[in-house]
């Protein structure tokens, strides 16, 4: 086995050293001869040599290199040719270690059929018979909107008859319902000439190309000319078409109409798992194509590598001939007669921001769908976000949060809530009656509770939290730190949740000295922290109210002569509160505690007196 590996290594070394230093595409094959990776390079020899000349940090890359048994390569003239060839080979062979294009499904296009009287319809099949295809459209409402516009502007036939000149002249057809409801002008019976029909088709093709501004101007000029010649009915007909196309343009217009034939790309990563790329094609200031797709990472590819792949994929798929490509950062790729632009301001910057907005929304939608199918995935993502934001050493699988509750120091209590995998673990919640603090001292109360909880946890060897959160600011954090770190010598991260004047969660504090961690309101992470803070406050305040209520009930009954602990328990079991005992009739009280005690109760609680 070792001898075989040595022979393979020597064989590969010889191949690498003989590679040309020119642009090209390389293919790695395994022992069975299957292509497991395809890559492109400006300099083939240098690029391939880098795989075998060092130890790779990525486990996936090491696994790839260990499986390489043979190398093939194709030399090309330019880097652009290498990009195109790489893209085609990846789609053809789908190698195991290349990024996987997830959204490689067929989207519908609009077809202008190659026939004597062409039909215009949506289709998912591309047939090379001379027909024209526009698309594909990833956003169905956009495609249906343009088809609806065409239908209202120019009546076209929808039937599947062979409308050849010979068949029409022979009178083989009759007009159908579409003609009677004015959706078709009747070319099947010669009511519309071929010249007039094709003139409409030419205009439709311009609309599908995105040249709506030019068509709109033509309609406006014709309308003005007809009105000047007193042809008001014809002018009104054109005015209606002009209004339709202007309405469509107003909904699709996004930037200045001077921007024409431009591609826009943006990218958003999802950790080391995948990346989302958005593509927009702009014609006359309007979005003519829009598409977002996902790449599954295989070898920890960089954003630059993934975006380069996406640009080649989309330009080839949509047959784009744009001479300008707007991107969010520099890319090491070259195209003949194509400029890569990184806009800093103006309309092009707005286009890039629009593309980024689309890709972020697509990412959010995909993650939401995944979380609905696998709720555990949401928990892991939120824990990863907390770990990244606070730079924690370990995943926050168990989070504990503390809060105090008292009224001017009376009935002082505290509460601890526990979240495991960002879900409330109510069986682990704990209530504390403050024992060693006199008066309203929140910091001292916090120290007592934290000391009691974690001293006991150490003694019982029960699991410690991965993160402690205080419902309060810097002072509460410091109180917790003094006990956890200085006194108990525990290595547990401590954070603080502060509220604004309206008692709403406003900021997350972390570190010593505490620093504000910027969190965007409305995000899943912000809502989780808000939930933790609300939960500990609810739990603490409920415990405090119950304790205060019991004390008040106890003090009211304890002051009555002849009412002992047993009688008090019977009364509270029956009536639940002092208020209800006070409102009870003498007969109702007598049924529980007897006549003598019932009279004493009413006398003490209501002021009524009886001769005993």
Structure tokens at 63: 């696994």
The pLDDT > 90 percentage for the chain reads 16
Question: 464 pLDDT exceeds 70?
Answer: yes
Rounded distance, CA 415 to CA 32, Å?
63
| Residue, of 556 and 524, whose pLDDT is higher | 524
Closest CA to 185 of 216, 227, 156: 156
| pLDDT of the residue at 436 | 82
Burial label for 428, CB within 10 Å (0-12, 13-18, 19+), is: middle
- Tell me which of 77-91, 257-271, 423-437, 540-554 is least confident: 540-554
pLDDT at 413 over 50: yes
305-331 CB burial, b ≥16 within 10 A, e <16: bbbbbbbbbbbebbebebebbbbbeeb
E-state strands within 297-397: 324-326, 339-341
**Residue 42, number of CB atoms within 10 A of its CB:** 16
Which helix (H) or strand (E) element contains residue 350? helix 346-373
Decide yes or no: CATH 3.90.1200 for domain 262-370: no
- In contact, 192 and 186? CB cutoff 8 Å: yes
- Following DSSP, what letter does each residue of 73-89 receive, concatenated? EEE-SSHHHHHHHHHHH
Whether residue 445 is predicted with pLDDT greater than 80 in this model: the reply is yes
- The pLDDT score that the predictor gives to residue 612 is 43
Q: For residue range 187-235, list pLDDT tens digits in order.
A: 998 898 999 999 989 888 887 877 777 777 878 888 888 888 888 887 8
Do 385-547 and 2-97 have the same topology in CATH?
no
Of 484 and 282, the structure prediction assigns the larger pLDDT to 484
Q: Give SS3 for 397.
A: coil
Reported as a pLDDT band with limits 50, 70 and 90, residue 139 is: low
Most confident of the ranges 274-278, 412-416, 542-546: 274-278
Query: Span 286-300, mean pLDDT?
Result: 78
Query: Tell me, what's the pLDDT at 253?
Result: 45
Give 284's strand partners.
none
Average pLDDT of the residues in 273-296 = 80
Written as six digits, the tokens of 17 are 């050293």
- Residue 559 pLDDT: 62
| Phi-psi sector, 164: left (phi>0), alpha (psi -120 to 50), beta | beta
Strands 494-499, 467-470: parallel, antiparallel or unpaired by DSSP? Answer: parallel
Contact present, 485 and 493 (Cβ < 8 Å)? no
Residue-range domain boundaries for the chain: 2-97, 109-252, 262-370, 385-547, 559-606
The SS3 assignment for 109 reads strand
270: Cα within 13 Å, side-chain hemisphere: 26
pLDDT above 90 for 400 = yes
Number of H helices, E strands in the chain: 20, 20
Q: pLDDT grade, residue 606 (50/70/90)?
A: low
Place of tokens 């406050």: 537
Q: Are 494 and 500 in contact (CB under 8 A)?
A: no
Q: What is the mean pLDDT of residues 5-27?
A: 77
Confidence of residue 4 (pLDDT cuts 50, 70, 90): low
Torsion of CA 333, 61, 13, 23, to 10 degrees: -10
**Rounded alpha-carbon distances, angstroms, from residue 424 to 195, 450, 472, 521:** 73, 19, 20, 21
Instruction: Please tell me the distance from the alpha carbon of residue 267 to that of residue 292, in angstroms, as a whole number.
Output: 9
pTM: 0.47
pLDDT band at residue 254, thresholds of 50, 70 and 90? very low
Decide which of 406 and 530 is more confident. 530
What count of other Cβ atoms lies within 10 Å of the Cβ of residue 605? 18
Q: Is the model's pLDDT at 470 over the cut of 70?
A: yes
Q: Look at residue 57 and tell me whether its pLDDT is greater than 80.
A: no
Phi-psi domain of 185 (left: phi exceeds 0; alpha: psi -120 through 50; beta: other) = alpha
Indicate the helix (H) or strand (E) that contains 69.
Answer: none
Say what the pLDDT of residue 452 is.
Answer: 92
List the CATH code of the domain at 385-547: 3.30.420.340
The neighbour count for residue 110, using CB atoms within 10 Å, is 20
Q: Which pLDDT value is given to residue 5? A: 55
DSSP state of 486: I
Query: Could you read off the pLDDT of 303-341 as tens digits, one per residue?
Result: 998 999 889 888 888 888 888 999 999 998 888 888 999
Phi/psi of residue 572, nearest 5 degrees:
-70, -35
| pLDDT of the residue at 610 | 47
Please check the confidence at residue 467 and state whether its pLDDT lies above 90. Answer: yes
607 Cβ partners below 8 Å, 6+ apart? none
Question: What are the start-end ranges of the H helices in 374-460?
Answer: 375-390, 442-460
Fold classification of 2-97 is GIY-YIG endonuclease (3.40.1440)
- For the chain, the average pLDDT equals 81
Q: What is the pLDDT of residue 284?
A: 67
Q: Is 223 within 8 Å of 235 (Cβ atoms)?
A: yes
Distance (Å, rounded) from C-alpha 130 to C-alpha 112?
Answer: 9
Could you give the C-alpha distances from 464 to 155, 398, 399, 491, 544, in angstroms and in order? 74, 8, 9, 10, 26
d(CA 123, CA 106): 10
Q: Compute the distance between CA of residue 67 and CA of residue 12 in angstroms, rounded to an integer.
A: 12
CA gap 277, 561 in Å, rounded = 80
- The whole-number pLDDT of residue 1 equals 45
Given a cut of 70, whether residue 61 has pLDDT beyond it is: yes
* Three-state DSSP state, 594: coil
Average pLDDT over residues 28-36: 88
pLDDT of amino acid 51? 86
Own/partner contacts of 221-225, CB < 8 Å, gap of 24 or more, are: none
């Amino acid at each position: 086995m070792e001898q075989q590996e040595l022979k393979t290594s020597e064989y590969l070394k010889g191949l690498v050293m003989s590679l040309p230093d020119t642009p090209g595409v390389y293919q790695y094959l395994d022992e069975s001869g299957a292509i497991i990776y395809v890559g492109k390079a400006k300099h083939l020899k240098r690029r391939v040599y880098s795989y075998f000349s060092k130890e790779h940090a990525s486990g996936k890359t090491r696994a790839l290199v260990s499986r390489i048994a043979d190398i093939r390569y194709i030399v090309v003239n330019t880097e652009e040719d290498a990009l195109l060839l790489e893209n085609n080979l990846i789609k053809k062979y789908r190698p195991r270690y290349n990024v996987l294009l997830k959204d490689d499904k067929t989207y519908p296009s609009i077809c202008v059929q190659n026939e004597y009287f062409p039909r215009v319809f949506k289709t998912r099949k591309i047939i090379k018979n001379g027909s024209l295809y526009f698309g594909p459209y990833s956003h169905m409402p956009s495609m249906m909107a343009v088809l609806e516009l065409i239908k209202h502007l120019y009546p076209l036939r929808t039937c599947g008859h062979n409308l050849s000149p010979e068949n029409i002249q022979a009178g083989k057809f009759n007009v159908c319902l579409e003609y009677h409801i004015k959706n078709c002008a009747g070319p099947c019976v010669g009511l519309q000439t071929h010249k007039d029909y094709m003139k409409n088709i030419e205009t439709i093709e311009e609309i599908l190309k995105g040249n709506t501004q030019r068509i709109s101007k033509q309609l406006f000029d014709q309308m003005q000319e007809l009105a000047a010649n007193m042809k008001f009915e014809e002018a009104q007909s054109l005015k209606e078409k002009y209004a339709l196309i202007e309405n469509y343009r107003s909904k699709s217009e996004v930037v200045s109409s001077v921007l024409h034939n431009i591609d826009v790309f943006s990218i958003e990563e999802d950790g080391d798992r995948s990346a989302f790329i958005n593509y927009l094609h702009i014609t006359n200031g309007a979005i003519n194509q829009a598409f977002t797709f996902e790449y599954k990472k295989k070898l920890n590819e960089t954003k630059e590598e993934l975006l380069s792949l996406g640009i080649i994929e989309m330009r080839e798929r949509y047959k784009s001939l744009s001479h300008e490509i707007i991107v969010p950062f520099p890319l090491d790729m070259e195209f003949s007669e194509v400029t890569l632009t990184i806009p800093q301001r103006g309309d092009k910057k707005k286009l890039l921001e629009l593309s980024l907005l689309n890709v972020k929304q697509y990412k959010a939608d995909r993650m939401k769908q995944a979380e609905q199918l696998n709720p555990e995935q949401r928990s892991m993502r939120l824990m990863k976000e907390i770990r990244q934001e606070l730079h924690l050493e370990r995943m926050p699988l168990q989070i504990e949060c503390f809060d105090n509750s008292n009224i001017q120091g009376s009935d002082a209590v505290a509460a601890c809530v526990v979240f495991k995998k960002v879900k409330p673990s109510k069986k682990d919640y704990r209530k504390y009656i403050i024992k060693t603090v006199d008066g309203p001292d929140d910091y001292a109360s916090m120290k007592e509770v934290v000391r009691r909880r974690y001293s006991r946890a150490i003694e019982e060897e029960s699991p410690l939290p991965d993160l402690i959160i205080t419902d309060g600011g810097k002072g509460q954090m410091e109180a917790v730190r003094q006990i956890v770190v200085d006194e108990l010598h525990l290595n547990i991260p401590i954070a603080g949740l502060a509220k604004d004047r309206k008692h709403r969660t406003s900021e997350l504090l972390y570190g010593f000295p505490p620093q504000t961690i910027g969190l965007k309101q409305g995000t899943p992470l912000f809502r989780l922290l808000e939930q933790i803070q609300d939960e500990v406050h609810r739990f603490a305040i409920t415990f405090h109210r119950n304790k205060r209520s019991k004390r008040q009930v106890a003090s009211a009954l304890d002051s009555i002569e002849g009412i002992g602990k047993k009688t008090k328990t019977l009364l509270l079991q029956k009536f639940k509160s002092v208020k209800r005992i006070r409102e009870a009739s003498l007969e109702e009280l007598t049924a529980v505690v007897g006549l003598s005690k019932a009279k004493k109760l009413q006398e003490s609680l209501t002021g009524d007196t009886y001769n005993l």
